[in-house]
């Protein structure tokens, strides 16, 4: 011991952030370090020896001599436990980091998928918007076409109605022509001056219609169908009919009395005021009367007899 100099060193262990202790729990461990001096002591040898003596004195005050090995074992156990804890924590953190990276990868893939889906939906939306615009234009065009077709249908319906009226009139004319033809043929076959059921008086033929009454216009229309006209006399010939009230071929036109052949009524016979819409009807005690053309009376048709 006389040839060895012992130098004491102070080592302080501070805990990590996971194992924190208060400052007063810090442990100070003193260790003996033997240093061999082969050379002669320097000028500071006395000072170092004094300091070493002081450290040794303090260490002996804190720990008994027999406690040094136990402290080393405790320190070693603490270091081993700390290393195991740090290793375990590091492994757990690596697993967590690996899991986080896996989750991050999945999230990135999901984000890419969502982005792709978003782009696809935008593309589909744009196509649908274009289709909607085109369909709207097409619908507008179809509505316009429908309106035009509806107008055409209305026009065609109106034309059909006119054609039906014309067809009806043509059928009536055809019936009249057939009747007239039949009458003419009967006249020629029988070699008679007047058609069948007509009465011959002087040079004219008369058809008396006293089974039903009708308006002046309908009576004249019926006479036209037999190629005749309402008779042009002020009063019917005698022995023609027992009924004396008949339509005659005289009516008011342009505020004047005119016969249906276009001639004017003589001034001596025009004592009746020419009221618009009035026609003449024969009377028993009078030459004729002025009544409204829509009244209903019997009528007599008149035409020239056939010369034999």
89-103, 154-168, 178-192, 225-239 — which one is most confidently predicted on average? 154-168
Percent over 70 (pLDDT), the chain:
71
pLDDT in tens, 198-229: 888 888 888 989 889 999 999 999 999 988 99
Give the CA distances from residue 283 to residues 100, 238, 248, in Å, rounded to whole numbers and listed in that order. 125, 13, 10
**Whole-prediction pTM:** 0.40
pLDDT at 230 over 70: yes
pLDDT in tens, 286-302: 678 889 999 999 999 99
Domains and CATH numbers, the chain: 5-89 (no CATH), 197-304 (3.10.100.10)
**Coil/strand/helix, residue 69:** helix
Look up residue 190 and give its two tokens.
């029988």
Question: What's the whole-number mean pLDDT along residues 20-41?
Answer: 45
């Amino acid at each position: 011991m006389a040839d060895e100099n012992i130098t004491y060193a102070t080592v302080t262990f501070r805990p990590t952030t996971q194992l924190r202790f208060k400052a007063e729990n810090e442990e100070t461990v003193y260790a003996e370090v033997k240093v061999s001096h082969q050379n002669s002591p320097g000028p500071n040898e006395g000072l170092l020896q004094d300091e070493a003596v002081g450290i040794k004195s303090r260490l002996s005050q804190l720990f008994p001599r027999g406690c040094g090995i136990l402290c080393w074992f405790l320190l070693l156990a603490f270091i081993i436990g700390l290393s195991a804890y740090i290793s375990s924590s590091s492994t757990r953190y690596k697993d967590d980091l690996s899991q986080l990276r896996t989750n991050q990868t999945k999230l990135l893939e999901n984000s890419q998928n969502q982005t792709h889906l978003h782009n696809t939906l935008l593309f589909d939306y744009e196509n649908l918007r274009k289709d909607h615009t085109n369909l709207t234009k097409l619908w507008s065009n179809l509505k316009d076409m429908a309106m035009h077709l509806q107008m055409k249908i209305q026009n065609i319906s109106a034309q059909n109605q006119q054609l039906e009226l014309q067809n009806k009139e043509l059928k009536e004319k055809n019936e009249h022509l057939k009747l007239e033809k039949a009458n003419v043929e009967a006249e020629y076959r029988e070699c008679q001056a007047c058609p069948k059921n007509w009465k011959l008086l002087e040079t004219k033929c008369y058809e008396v219609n006293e089974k039903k009454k009708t308006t002046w216009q309908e009576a004249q229309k019926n006479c036209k169908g037999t190629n005749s006209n309402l008779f042009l006399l002020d009063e019917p010939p005698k022995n023609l009919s027992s009924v004396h009230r008949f339509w005659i071929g005289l009516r008011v036109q342009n505020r004047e009395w005119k016969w249906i052949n276009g001639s004017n009524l003589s001034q001596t016979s025009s004592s009746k005021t020419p009221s618009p819409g009035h026609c003449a009807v024969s009377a028993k005690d009078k030459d004729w009367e002025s009544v409204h053309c829509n009244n209903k009376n019997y009528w007599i048709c008149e035409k020239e007899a056939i010369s034999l």
